Structure 1
Amino acid sequence: MKLSRRRVLGGIGAGAAAGLVGMPASAAEDGLGTDTERVFIHPKAGVLDDLGELLDVIEAIGGTTVLEFDNFEFVVARVPSTGLDELRRDRRVASVEDDHETGIPSDWSPSLPNLFDPPGGSNCATHPDQRASWGVERIGADAVEPDGTGVDVGILDTGIQSAHCSLSVAGGRNFTADGTAGDYEDRHGHGTHVAGVAGADDNDRGVVGVAPNANLYAVKVLGDDGSGRYSELIAGIDWCMSNDVEIISMSLGGKTESATLGRAIDAAHSDGHLLLCAAGNEGNDGSDSCAAETMTYPATHENVVAVTAMDEGDRLASYSSVGSAVDLLAPGTNVTSSTVDNEYAEASGTSVATPFVTGVAALVWETREEDGPGPTDPVRAILGETAETVLGTCAEGDGLVNARAALGDDRATEGSDWSDGPVSGLRSLFERVVDLVVGFVEWLLGLVS
């Protein structure tokens, strides 16, 4: 994984700049001494000599640039509300868009079963024996050999507890106001729970994830209260692109579509990253309610794998959003995973279902031996075409993600070196025969010429 330094503005340190992203409106307004709006500003192509000229435009109307990105030309800024019209009229500005809110449901409340005797989980030796969740077993992830080795997975969430006995965190970055840039610790619980579903260690303690040897990156785009903005989410996507994190998992959503976020998703997709997102917890009228469109954004984006949730009875979860953009179904109800304070919790939601698919995607990515970001369409096709039909309705998209079937698909081994077993010998023999035949034909052609 290559490392890249994010450029931040305002003559302040990286940690403070990361804190500016997601700054509460009141704090920013006090700093500027007037009512402000947090917006994305896109430069007009072919008009500006460089991005610095756009920053001058923002400053001229009394605005403050908050953040620029490694992979996108637009910037995030706070500008006086009275200057918005002037900004939109400027010949150097292509468009201005509000920076909308995203996050997880405010009523997300996992239960904490008493798994410890004596109570407390600070000592890893006291953790319960490892047990796979019903979801891991239901999708067959407990019966496959690949474990996600070498695959980078970005968990774009509230952070991850780095000292949890069931988790190994490869690194990360914080893009919220809650801490410095290097402080990607989870003080909420949601991100740690999601990370455990996707990739908790196979270490005989607590829980185990779908891809236990994947490299988990804590990309903190939601604050300690579980809320954030699209600019923070885009900053997380940008970081994953700059650092070659192949799989980007987003267990969050917003109520408003965003052309700017859509542009970032398209860029990441084109760059070879697989993006997955929770469909939302806005509810449904049953699995046959095909006319309903209750999904949140960016799950509805075409270049995102949207995941909805089911319960242990193979029923669509009552809380799960539905819509025409649903791609896959996954376990999402009463799933036990890791959480903060070195504990384990049982929680529900499409945000819990999403990392099941994320984990299977990592297994397929490993098996195909992709080197860094690569073609995502084959992986997405494998996940969809090997899915198990459970509901038989529009609510499940292609069906329940199926680890065994996905890894058994011939396309899952394309690009493999075939290094083990009798198949390797047959392939090598065949290749040698082909080489001899080709050489002989070329020799004959040489004689004729």
Structure 2
Amino acid sequence: MTLSRRQLLQGVGAGVGTGLLGTTASRSASASSTASDTRRVFVHPRDGLLGNLLDVVEAVGGTTVLEYDNFDFVVAAVPENRLDDLLSATGVAAVEEDDETGIPDDWNPSLLDVLLPPDRSDCSTHPDQRASWGHERIGVTDVEPDGTGVDIGILDTGIQTDHCSLEVAGGRNFTAAGPPGDYEDRHGHGTHVAGIAAAVDNELGVVGAAPNANCYAVKVLDDEGRGRYSELVAGIDWCISNDVEIISMSLGGETESDTLAEAIETAHGEGHLLLSAAGNEGNPGDGSCDAATMTYPATHENVVAVAATDEDDSLASYSSVGAAVDLLAPGTDIVSSVADNEYAEASGTSMACPFVTGVAALVWERSEADGPGPNEAVRQTLAETAEPVLETCDAHGLVDARAALGKDGAVDDEPASATDQDGERAGNRLTAALEWLADAITSFLEWLRGVVR
């Protein structure tokens, strides 16, 4: 990818003396630098060898902030006036800005009084379970698979671990908001996303698309919904190390990143399926996906990018679009769990992404894979069985759980042709219409008998 000078500080180590950094003058200048002059950057070693890279960072007055299990680069906080020294150091191949990521600032869930339990801490007082219109629209309420045995990593603001509608299998916190073992959600976004994907089927509150999947809270955004690419990379790194098959990212940044791209490509190569919200930067309003308003990492080719639809199957006005969009999913007025053991309605491509995540878990379950591996087969199945709903955006269909799972619920190595899919959908619509008509006639006859009596 081609990045601007601000985003990518590219340097090939030409060698400085015996590998020591800078001059006496520059080292003296670094001593007077303040915390406000510090830049947080990815540092890549030459030839992929870390070697004495940590010593190099220290020699320029920097501090190593993060190291990774699966990637040969580090994150460092370096005085801004020593970046040139770092770039020219022996063994350093490249330095890249650690840019910001997060959720939209205007994400504003509406608490639902009808679902507000009298005693939030007492699960027995929680309302009866209901599926959102989105779950019904994509057919997850009509299929048998429930995600059993499939791991989903929700890379977000954490998840409320004692929410009555959720079960959290584990997780890790990579933000400064608490220790590594504290992946509680104090924002609400991550809990809402988790509920859409995997709220348990326990007759309380809400239910997810894959209610029996193992849901992991990978906290890469802080309690304000903000984070950095380095923390997102750390979350992907953790999922790789722990064989979490599906990596769901309802977040985005304004800039591309070669380092994040490397992490994505590594995870994809290891057989993990990565999904991301397309972004809430809007579209021309004509139903077209031709504009380019998507955020990163949704634009990466190894990420399943999800745009959002309204209840009438139209493209949501807030949804980002672009050539990299892979699938559509419901995103407007979606009811799910939120922090403080409550339930709320919210909109955004952040809500659309976990619908596809959940369906992916259902398809993955039927692949009978033990751990990462069938990511491409699952992705192909989701794409080729999607329901066309936008004539002006016909390359991107609405995720369809029933079609994706097939009649026997198995992953279809050779998905049905578009003609066969259209015929099956038409048959389903006809059956539904006949059932509705029969119910209407029955109701009318019962009413008529009551009048005659």
Same fold (TM over 0.5): yes
Contact 2:367 2:374 in 1 (8 A): no
TM-score (structure 2 length as normaliser): 0.82
2:144 match: secondary structure: coil
CA-based RMSD of the aligned residues comes to: 1.8
- 2:402 maps to a residue whose letter is R
Shift in Å at residue 286 of structure 1? 1.9
Change (3 A) 1:291 1:31: same
Gaps of 5+ in 1: 1-28, 416-449
Find the counterpart in structure 1 of residue 401 from structure 2: 403
Find the counterpart in structure 2 of residue 35 from structure 1: 37
Contact 1:117 1:126 in 2 (8 A): no
Find the counterpart in structure 2 of residue 412 from structure 1: 410
Shift in Å at residue 115 of structure 1? 2.5
Shift in Å at residue 203 of structure 1? 0.3
Shift in Å at residue 52 of structure 1? 4.4
Find the counterpart in structure 2 of residue 227 from structure 1: 226
Contact 2:157 2:190 in 1 (8 A): yes
Contact 1:279 1:295 in 2 (8 A): yes
Shift in Å at residue 292 of structure 1? 1.0
Change (3 A) 1:397 1:409: farther
Change (3 A) 1:269 1:134: same
Find the counterpart in structure 1 of residue 419 from structure 2: none
2:134 match: secondary structure: helix
How many aligned positions are there? 383
After TM superposition, list the pairs within 5 Å mapping 1:307-326 onto structure 2. Answer: 307-326=306-325
- 2:364 maps to a residue whose letter is W
Contact 1:382 1:412 in 2 (8 A): no
Find the counterpart in structure 1 of residue 388 from structure 2: 389
- 1:386 maps to a residue whose letter is T
Contact 2:156 2:251 in 1 (8 A): yes
Q: What do residues 231-261 of structure 1 show as CA deviations (whole Å, max 9, x unaligned)?
A: 0000000000000000000000000000000
Find the counterpart in structure 1 of residue 282 from structure 2: 283
Gaps of 5+ in 2: 1-30, 414-453
2:171 match: secondary structure: strand
Q: What do residues 367-415 of structure 1 show as CA deviations (whole Å, max 9, x unaligned)?
A: 0111100031110000000000001223x64300000000007893479
After TM superposition, list the pairs within 5 Å mapping 1:34-73 onto structure 2. Answer: 35-45=37-47, 48=49, 51-73=50-72
Find the counterpart in structure 2 of residue 88 from structure 1: 87
After TM superposition, list the pairs within 5 Å mapping 1:107-126 onto structure 2. Answer: 107-116=106-115, 119-126=118-125
TM-score (structure 1 length as normaliser): 0.83
Task: For 1:303 and 1:372, locate their aligned partners in 2 and report how far apart those are by CA, in whole Å.
Answer: 18
Find the counterpart in structure 1 of residue 168 from structure 2: 169
- 1:172 maps to a residue whose letter is G
Q: What do residues 287-323 of structure 1 show as CA deviations (whole Å, max 9, x unaligned)?
A: 4444310000000000000000001111110000010
Matched, 1:299 2:318: no
Contact 2:116 2:342 in 1 (8 A): no
Task: For 1:303 and 1:411, locate their aligned partners in 2 and report how far apart those are by CA, in whole Å.
Answer: 25
Task: For 1:141 and 1:166, locate their aligned partners in 2 and report how far apart those are by CA, in whole Å.
Answer: 17
Q: What do residues 30-60 of structure 1 show as CA deviations (whole Å, max 9, x unaligned)?
A: 99656110000000007x5xx2401111111
Task: For 1:397 and 1:293, locate their aligned partners in 2 and report how far apart those are by CA, in whole Å.
Answer: 15
Contact 1:130 1:205 in 2 (8 A): yes
Change (3 A) 1:391 1:340: same
Q: What do residues 315-336 of structure 1 show as CA deviations (whole Å, max 9, x unaligned)?
A: 1100000100000000000000
Find the counterpart in structure 2 of residue 212 from structure 1: 211
Change (3 A) 1:45 1:411: farther
- 1:251 maps to a residue whose letter is S
- 1:89 maps to a residue whose letter is S
1:45 match: secondary structure: helix
Contact 1:154 1:245 in 2 (8 A): yes
Task: For 2:324 and 2:204, locate their aligned partners in 1 and report how far apart those are by CA, in whole Å.
Answer: 37
